[in-house]
Structure 1
Amino acid sequence: MADTASTRSDSTRPDSGALVADPSLAAATPARRRPRLPRMSGIGTALALGWTILIVLGALVVDFLPLSEARDPSLALMTPSTLAPDLFTDHPLGTDSQGLDILGGLLYGARVSLVVGIGGVLVGALIGGALGLVAGYRGGWTDRIVSILTDTLLAFPSLILLIAIVTVLDPTLINVTLALGIMVVPSYARLVRANAMSFAGREFVTAARSLGAGETRIMLREVTPNIIQPVFSYSFMLVAVLIVAEASLSYLGLSIPRPEPTWGNMISAGQSDFQRDPYLVGVPAVVLFLTVLSFNQLGEAAGRKWSPGAAKI
């Protein structure tokens, strides 16, 4: 009887116990590997936020910092040109071929890049967001007109359209910002239109309409608060795109000209001496790369946080 009982108890043991005891199979389950991704993502987001804060603060207080001359070559005539970087001198990142301080030029260039990037995003968000909101909520012929307008703008290559706009206008900070803002209007119009269409038929919109609320009030107070988060997270990535676009225009000589420093025209000015003094190109290129990467990382982090399907870990 004892042998029979032990046989029965052995036979009633679940076969899956062997699977759980296998360390290789247990390690392959997603439950044990999932926490590593948020941890690495959190470190990257923290580094990106720190770099962005550093760049923003530098652009805001550059006029009050004890930096050497970085914008007026006539004031740097006595400064040796193409000084190598030395952290323990008055020119910690060196000087360019005109004797202008590179560190000061980077901070002044950061101001231009941030004004153009953030300002262009605000222009595009206001114009494109308004068009997309009206088109997505009302539909019909309004939606068709806005769709034709955005499709027309998207039909032109972005860089060619941007060069055409900047060529017609004077290459001032305001004009470059407006040109870049016009370039991102279709992107915002499509994003806001898609979100507005998804919320236009929701219960709270129907309830507000049944209570006698007008279309303008419904769009501004019912629909708009629900589409701010995806627009905000998307804006970080567009700031990075506009910073690269402005740097490209400056490199081609179509944006703010020298001696006003921008990251693009600093790279352009140093390319002739690149083989002898690679830091003239490498330093502004690295700062541009890190800034664009940081804004992209912040945009992805905001998208993960505010996405309806994001996992809450």
Structure 2
Amino acid sequence: MTTQPDVSKVPAPGSAELTAKENAGSGSRRARRRGLGVLFWCSAAWLGLVVLGAIVAPLLPIADPAAQDYRSVAVAPGSPGHLLGTDGLGRDLLARAVFGARISLIITLGAVTIGLVVGGTLGMLAGYFRGTTERLIVAATDAMMAVPALVLLLALMATLGSSVQNLIVGLGLLGVPAFVRLTRANTLVYTKREFIVAARSLGASNRRILAREIVPNILPAVAAYAFLVVGILIIAEGSLSFLGVGVPPPASSWGMMIAEGRDSLRQAPWVSFIPSAFMFLTVLSFNLIGDRLREESDVRETTI
């Protein structure tokens, strides 16, 4: 004996009940869009401002960051012609901070790209193929993580020399193990899912499964983590520049600007504080956005 569905309980098109449900659904979608929070959008606005300023820095009506004005040495912020003041050589701090953002972002974003591509590829291979491939990749990753990061970077800079390209490579290698572990863990989760088993049963190749099934599913979590890694690498690049093995002059980065002002902290503290504020706000913004995106990716994964 079969039972017929009670159609009387299904709301009719245009009814008040159906309209209320539709309004509730649209309201929940609006709530999700607003759910990112004020801090997320403030962080995104700051990063957008920093990135835009770094891109169009040569077109901005600011002073030459390398020009020295000995009539305006260590001028305090708010002085005419120098909004953020000058350093001990009379160089405009606003111009140096804007152009320093270019160097810092180029190095860190390039390094994250290397870590994401190399580490992500190795992690997916380890999590998908398992066996000997996984053991070799995991052993190499553990060996890299056993070496202190600062010692590794100092050794690379001493061997290869200080340059933007070498910093990108060195910091990129530093980020590889973290991406290997992250992508391997996420790949292990998805290799047992039904859609992967179905793809295998339909004769899909391993390359197609990795590219069409694995990558789209692990990408949100990896992208969220990449924002956190950018913040870490900005600090690492600043630390190297502070120690004198970062970007060679006359180019400037935030870390180098902080190091240049350490001898005049009593007389002109703004020389170090201003680039420190730029670095702090930028790293904080990357961390806040990364944390929020990670939460969103966790919610997405629970609904798959």
TM-score, length of structure 1 as denominator length: 0.83
Aligned match for 1:86, one of 78, 90, 93: 78
Aligned to 1:283: 274
Alignment CA distance shift 1:123-1:229 (3 Å) = same
The 10-residue stretch of structure 1 (299-308 or 148-157) with the greater mean CA deviation from structure 2: 299-308
1:257 to 248, 258, 261: 248
Q: Which of 50, 56, 67 is equivalent to 1:61?
A: 56
In structure 2, runs of 5+ residues without a counterpart are 1-32
Whole-angstrom CA distance in 2 between matches of 1:111 and 1:309:
34
> Shift of residue 170 of structure 1?
2.2
Paired with 1:163 and 1:102, the residues of 2 have a C-alpha distance of 28
The alignment-based identity, stated in percent, is: 39
Counterpart for residue 21 of structure 2: none
What letter matches 1:140 in structure 2?
A: G
For residues 90-142 of structure 1, the C-alpha deviation after alignment (integer angstroms, 9 at most, x for no partner) is 21111111111100100111111111111111100000011000000000000
What do the CA deviations read for 1:21-69 (whole angstroms, capped 9, x no partner)? Answer: xxxxxxxxxxxxxxxxx98971211211111111111101110111112
Number of the residue aligned with 1:50: 45
- Rg (Cα) greater in structure: 1
Query: d(CA) in 1 for partners of 2:63 and 2:162?
Result: 26
**Aligned-residue CA RMSD (Å):** 1.9
The aligned amino acid for 2:113 is L
Structure 1 gaps, min length 5: 1-37
Which region of structure 1 is more displaced relative to structure 2, 59-68 or 158-167?
158-167
Partners of 1:67 and 1:90 within 8 A in 2: no
Contact in 2 for aligned 1:304/1:310 (Cα 8 Å): no
- Structure 1 residue 224 displacement after superposition: 1.0
Conserved 8 A contact 1:258-1:265? no
Q: Deviations over 1:75-97 (max 9, x none)?
A: 4245421111116x221111111
Whole-angstrom distance in 1 between the partners of 2:148 and 2:34: 39
Checking the alignment, whether the CA contact within 8 Å between 1:257 and 1:265 is kept in structure 2 is no
Q: Does 1:248 align with 2:239?
A: yes
- Partner SS for 1:184: helix
Q: Secondary structure at the match of 1:276?
A: coil
Alignment-mate amino acid for residue 114 of structure 2: V
Give the match for residue 26 of structure 1.
none
Q: In structure 2, what is the equivalent of residue 14 of structure 1?
A: none
Structure 1 segment 1-313 matched on structure 2, within 5 A:
42-71=37-66, 75-77=67-69, 79-86=71-78, 89-308=80-299
CA contact (8 A) 2:69 2:91 kept: no
Structure 2 CA distance for aligned equivalents of residues 118 and 181 of structure 1: 9
Counterpart secondary structure, 1:55: helix
SS state of the match for residue 66, structure 1?
coil
CA distance in structure 1 between the partners assigned to 2:189 and 2:119 by the alignment: 17
Q: TM-score, normalised by structure 2?
A: 0.85
Distance 1:274 1:227 in 2: 46
Distance 2:221 2:139 in 1: 24
CA distance in structure 2 between the aligned counterparts of 1:258 and 1:205, rounded to whole angstroms: 52
How many residues end up aligned between the 2 structures?
271
Residue 140 of structure 2 aligns with an amino acid whose one-letter code is: L
